[in-house]
Structure 1
């Protein structure tokens, strides 16, 4: 079947009159202030990226620091580098955490600072995608929403690069810049129009629309569109309403997208990247991390530039196919490079590692190519798009709760895959483990075809109306 035919089959039904009215409205929109509001918001994900990237260069410095009170032993270093589960607990300012790190006199100040920045990152990963989604319009919502993941990976690679030039204290000072700018810029940005309309703050909502859409757009028209979709909505959600297809279908799609994103094995691939580069004679592990980060930045930027033209489903399908192929290539690599002794893989006689046993320099190119291909594939689709779709498909009154559950699911699955990775390597063998990841990537493709709706060019109100209609749901294959 032709891709265009597939997209038409799975797309929302066309409403010519409404589409024409929307196009006339958008032709008069000016995006300058919307871009400014998005820039202010994505300084949060940039800060998040700095938090994720800070530990790698800082841990190397802190293992050899002169002050014995600040030396990170192996156990403390592992805590310093893996505070992801703390992201969901509460939100505290990024700046306070980095100030604690900058002024640290002992290991505990370092760990508490790391915890605070992690907690702030958790709320950032929840709030920013929704803020951008609710302030944007259909023509640019995909590109602006994809900037969340773009800024995360930009922050990571910036930390790696800065870590090659600065010690751990000055690196923490550098990491303070984005959150400080975010606090300043966001002070002048409006609340989202949908939030204000839902709380019957008419004057503030009209002011927000004028700021975000410019002086020439018909602000009253958009106000009426948002208001008409929310007249029957309450601010609270009863548990019994989870039986409503308009509630549970987008909720299940959001949850499953987060599960499938992590079960591709992205963290396992990333953790093995340094070893792969070393086998390919890249002896500088920091430089290897920078190269991996730059691949992520480039392909996430490509996704952001083309997503509003190609659509979400096309990029997810391409991404899933690329990752399935590259994970399968990893499995082949391990099957060719793991020695067999007494009819069993040699690594079973010793504690499992991510690296294969024995001389494999002649096949390092295969692992290197698989790593680059997998990361590029992930970055163009399954990296940024689940976060974007999450911010688009939930009804307004469930958006906060559902988005929060999706974020917790994402990090919970990331923790599970990371924690169980070594056990999988032992139980399934390395090539079996990466074969399993390849299988999940193939399932991603099927899941995208039959479950994920194409939201390109649709308002949030149109997306919500879709899930309320059983006829339209069947056209998506959602039963």
Structure 2
């Protein structure tokens, strides 16, 4: 739901102000969960934080893609993915060390610090120019670039581009030739991110390890995978402006395709009575996590923020994010398997209440945990079982498909989708490394008439890089 309104909010109030507005939303959500007398308050708090989550995610991506120079944009705009990995890893430790109610209160400090940090930075110059607040845009650019940087050429280019596309966002802009192609690429990237299947291997890692008979503790899989994701995402941030978005994405999806196919083959071999070493699924899952984080996790989000002109950028990002969440819900669909919720009651025993709600909320957060600000503490080791006669439990789509056609079939399907994604990416997705947002827009306005499928660094950009 937050993705449906985040674009309009960001366009109306500004990128920074939108992020400031999410802080009381988070505080209200965490307080609702921390002092929840019944489970319904936990779900209400989760809904509130989930709503603010998407607004923050889109606002952060817009801001971090609009403020930097072209040579730094890839690294800066990839940082949200890095902090997602860092936040998830830290919160697993917090969830293991503290009761979940105490953890909710501790996490409130994060959005509060976020609020005061935002007060120290300026609004996006692009948004200020969009609202004809030129003097403030100049001041913001001087703050961002420094007093010795010549901001006039950059500001002039930004104004010229805004004049050519207009300052009023209209949904019809998405169907114009200059916007239609980047919009379709954005939708393609969101589809590939979810349907490549890496999330399946990562989220069901414990299940796969138990089925394979591996001696690795399946309850610690989230910790191991979290460490791997953090390290590889850090590597991806460093490579984003050196190797390029397109190259990283092709490497990433290719690796995911290989891992999905390998895991499918492993379970097919098991289904016919043969066995492979039990370390094989561990290597495959870690390989999938590495492949996913090197590009497929951050590049689709980065490209979606880069490809559109300033007028439609926030609206297009909102639509692409909403589409992404729809696919995610289909992939990880929640289905109640207990009695109706009105008959649902939690045991009033304190330990049972803590354990059961911790497990329930831990599962729900898998649908929404996109930023470290909104990840609820979740104990990864000692997960108590749910009483299915009295508790709401969840059945995801993948286990259902797995039961019907076998474990290997959906894995082969995702591997094939990833392979197709590699080909489509190589043909249709342009390289945006080292290009300003205006140069990217000009590329799509000319519809690639320069006879080049990839954007090439401009002369000014090359000069800057040589100077460094």
Do they fold alike, i.e. is TM over 0.5? yes
In structure 1, C-alpha distance between the alignment counterparts of 2:109 and 2:423, rounded to whole Å: 42
TM-score (norm 1): 0.74
Q: 2:181 aligned with 1:249, yes or no?
A: yes
In structure 1, C-alpha distance between the alignment counterparts of 2:277 and 2:95, rounded to whole Å: 31
After superposition, the C-alpha distances for 1:276-321 in whole angstroms (9 at most, x for unaligned) are 4444223361x32111111111111100011100001110111111
The partner residue of 2:48 within 116, 125, 128 is 116
Q: Return closer, same or farther for 1:409/1:379 CA change in 2, 3 Å cut-off.
A: same
State the 1:184 CA deviation. Answer: 1.2
State the 1:477 CA deviation. Answer: 8.9
State the 1:180 CA deviation. Answer: 1.1
Q: Return closer, same or farther for 1:326/1:315 CA change in 2, 3 Å cut-off.
A: same
TM-score (norm 2): 0.75
**Residue pair 1:267, 1:414 contacting (<8 A) in 2 also:** no
The partner residue of 1:283 within 217, 228, 253 is 217
State the 1:147 CA deviation. Answer: 0.7
**Residue pair 1:267, 1:418 contacting (<8 A) in 2 also:** no
2:230 alignment partner in structure 1: 297
In structure 2, C-alpha distance between the alignment counterparts of 1:376 and 1:241, rounded to whole Å: 37
Instruction: Give the gaps of 5 or more residues in structure 1.
Output: 1-39, 45-89, 341-358
In structure 2, C-alpha distance between the alignment counterparts of 1:214 and 1:242, rounded to whole Å: 35
Q: Return closer, same or farther for 1:463/1:238 CA change in 2, 3 Å cut-off.
A: same
Q: Return closer, same or farther for 1:330/1:284 CA change in 2, 3 Å cut-off.
A: closer
The partner residue of 2:115 within 183, 186, 196 is 183
State the 1:421 CA deviation. Answer: 2.0
In structure 1, C-alpha distance between the alignment counterparts of 2:447 and 2:270, rounded to whole Å: 52
**Residue pair 1:97, 1:113 contacting (<8 A) in 2 also:** yes
**Residue pair 1:276, 1:368 contacting (<8 A) in 2 also:** no
SS of residue paired to 1:217:
coil
Q: How does 1:167-206 map to 2 (within 5 A)?
A: 167-206=99-138
**Residue pair 2:205, 2:218 contacting (<8 A) in 1 also:** no
In structure 2, C-alpha distance between the alignment counterparts of 1:238 and 1:205, rounded to whole Å: 23
After superposition, the C-alpha distances for 1:92-114 in whole angstroms (9 at most, x for unaligned) are 62121111112222212211111
Q: Return closer, same or farther for 1:126/1:239 CA change in 2, 3 Å cut-off.
A: closer
SS of residue paired to 2:97:
coil
State the 1:217 CA deviation. Answer: 0.3
State the 1:178 CA deviation. Answer: 1.8
Q: Return closer, same or farther for 1:372/1:237 CA change in 2, 3 Å cut-off.
A: same
State the 1:471 CA deviation. Answer: 4.1
In structure 1, C-alpha distance between the alignment counterparts of 2:164 and 2:147, rounded to whole Å: 30
1:400 alignment partner in structure 2: 314
SS of residue paired to 1:472:
coil
Q: Return closer, same or farther for 1:249/1:189 CA change in 2, 3 Å cut-off.
A: same
2:435 alignment partner in structure 1: 458
State the 1:153 CA deviation. Answer: 1.6
After superposition, the C-alpha distances for 1:367-423 in whole angstroms (9 at most, x for unaligned) are 111100001000001011111111100111111111001001111111112233234
In structure 2, C-alpha distance between the alignment counterparts of 1:473 and 1:370, rounded to whole Å: 42
1:443 alignment partner in structure 2: 420
Could you say what the CA RMSD is over the residues aligned between the two structures, in angstroms? Answer: 2.3
In structure 1, C-alpha distance between the alignment counterparts of 2:448 and 2:325, rounded to whole Å: 34
SS of residue paired to 2:71:
coil
**Residue pair 1:92, 1:117 contacting (<8 A) in 2 also:** no
In structure 1, C-alpha distance between the alignment counterparts of 2:217 and 2:159, rounded to whole Å: 59
In structure 2, C-alpha distance between the alignment counterparts of 1:125 and 1:443, rounded to whole Å: 28
**Residue pair 2:174, 2:183 contacting (<8 A) in 1 also:** no
The partner residue of 1:364 within 278, 283, 308 is 278
Paired residue total: 372
**Residue pair 1:451, 1:477 contacting (<8 A) in 2 also:** no
